[in-house]
Structure 1
Amino acid sequence: MKNYQEWYDKTKSSLLRHPQLLQLMRVFNRMMTVLMPLAYLTLLGTSLMSKNLGNDFYAYILVPALGFVLLTLVRKWINQPRPYETWGIVPLLDKDSSGNSMPSRHVFSATIISMACFHASLPVGLILLVLSALLGLVRVLGGVHYPKDVLVGYACGLIWGILFFIF
């Protein structure tokens, strides 16, 4: 991205002029690291207690786990630097790791959990998919991922979920 530095500087200064929005963005980013595991554990718990224990419960464990491992391997192979490593920016979200920016594992994880929940409950799944997309936006605005990182992470989660939960 040729003008990333300029774009991020404008975005960051806009967010810094609205401290409530910046705080909301940071709280949302942290909240998602609690909400998605809670949604996932709730899904596993309700699946475990249902009469149709067999297929769904094991699929809800194996599909996200296998996707997570495969995505992690691809990410390590690509090993793309993060925006704050390549450009002279200070991210708005706390992050100090290097490389492994693409695809976003946070967004993939949120999306595959959303797809599993979508399989169990259409309304809950749709809400979680919207929240996963918002997480991607927050990760980009926060300076820890490029837009393509979160788009690929989201797409991978959708495709993986469609392959295993919809078909």
Structure 2
Amino acid sequence: MKKETYVKCMDFIRSTPSGVVIVNNLGKLFTFITAACYLFITAGCIWGRLWQELIIYLAIPGISFVAVSIFRKCYNAKRPYEIYDFKPLIPKDTIGKSFPSRHVFSIFVIGTTLLYHYTFTGVLILYMGCLLAAIRVITGVHFPKDVIVGGLIGILCGAVANILFWLL
């Protein structure tokens, strides 16, 4: 996206009553709901002594999160607000580490991982992931490619978890 497109999106959000607050709180809400579902389901695995499922629920998202974080640090892509010199709507002072979006990756890997045993919850989280991806772009903290690649990597890693569930 070009600077003008970011500015136009952010100006529209700013011009809407409570627009910035709503957009920021929706992003936080989607992240919180995803984390709560993930914690609840992993706690259920512990409670039910479903050790193989627990290992997959923890290992695949955990290992892939670390791998994505290391890649981001090494690749160190600049963020839109760094390149275009504007203030993003989400309070952020991070320099670089934009590609891929770790927020979007995380929500997609969790949503896809949960699809096998908890289809409704997985679909709900993936839907929130699409909305979160849009929020991360229109608030100026990520480029579209950052969220698209983050989502695709999350889906791929979650699919690995589902294959492992199927093989068990």
Place the TM-score, normalised by the shorter chain, in its bin: over 0.9
Partner of 1:145: 142
Within-5 A mapping of 1:127-142: 127-142=124-139
Q: TM-score, normalised by structure 1?
A: 0.92
Partner of 2:5: 7
CA contact (8 A) 1:108 1:157 kept: yes
Whether 1:43 aligns to 2:75 is no
- Closer/same/farther in 2, CA of residues 35 and 138 from structure 1, 3 Å limit: same
CA contact (8 A) 2:89 2:139 kept: yes
Q: Deviations over 1:32-88 (max 9, x none)?
A: 33222211101101122235x131111001111100011111111210011111112
Please state whether the residue corresponding to 1:120 is helix, strand or coil: coil
Q: Deviations over 1:101-134 (max 9, x none)?
A: 0000011111111122212211110010000111
Cα offset, 1:166, TM superposition:
3.6
Q: Deviations over 1:83-104 (max 9, x none)?
A: 1111121101111110000000
Report the more deviating stretch, 14-23 or 95-104: 14-23
1:41 is aligned with what amino acid? L
CA contact (8 A) 1:119 1:166 kept: no
CA distance in 1, matches of 2:156, 2:11: 35
2:20 is aligned with what amino acid? L
Partner of 1:101: 98
Alignment coverage as a number of residue pairs: 164
Root mean square deviation of aligned Cα: 1.4
Residue identity over aligned pairs, in percent, reads 32
CA distance in 1, matches of 2:27, 2:67: 24
Partner of 1:88: 85
Partner of 1:23: 21
Q: Deviations over 1:2-34 (max 9, x none)?
A: xx1111111111111213333221111122332
CA distance in 2, matches of 1:157, 1:70: 11
Detail structure 1 runs of 4+ shifted over 4 Å in the superposition: none
Report the more deviating stretch, 31-40 or 65-74: 31-40
2:53 to 21, 40, 56: 56
Q: TM-score, normalised by structure 2?
A: 0.91
Identify unmatched segments of 5+ residues in structure 1. none
